[in-house]
Amino acid sequence: MRFFIIFFFFTNSVVADQGINIFCINMKNLLKKDPEISKFKFDVTTFQYFDPKKNSFIEIPNKNLIIKKNSFAARFNNYDLIFEVNEFEGRSPLMSMSKYDYKNNKFLDDYFCDVKTSNIN
User: Residue 54: which CATH number?
Assistant: 2.40.128
pLDDT tens for 61-100 read 999 999 999 999 999 999 999 999 988 888 888 999 999 9
Structural domain span for residue 61? 19-120
Using alpha carbons, select from 11, 39, 65 the residue that is nearest to residue 118.
39
Number of structural domains, the chain? 1
pLDDT for the residue numbered 1: 47
Element (H, E) at 32: none
User: 19: which strand partners?
Assistant: 118
Q: Within a domain: residue 2?
A: no
Q: Is residue 46 part of a domain?
A: yes
**Mind listing the pLDDT tens digit for each residue in 18-66?**
899 999 999 988 778 888 899 999 998 999 999 989 999 999 999 999 9
Does any domain span residue 8? no
| pLDDT in the model for residue 35 | 85
Does 48 map to a domain?
Answer: yes
Residue 110, in any domain of the structure: yes
Using DSSP's 3-state secondary structure scheme, residue 11 falls into: helix
Interatomic CA distance for residues 80 and 21, integer angstroms:
19
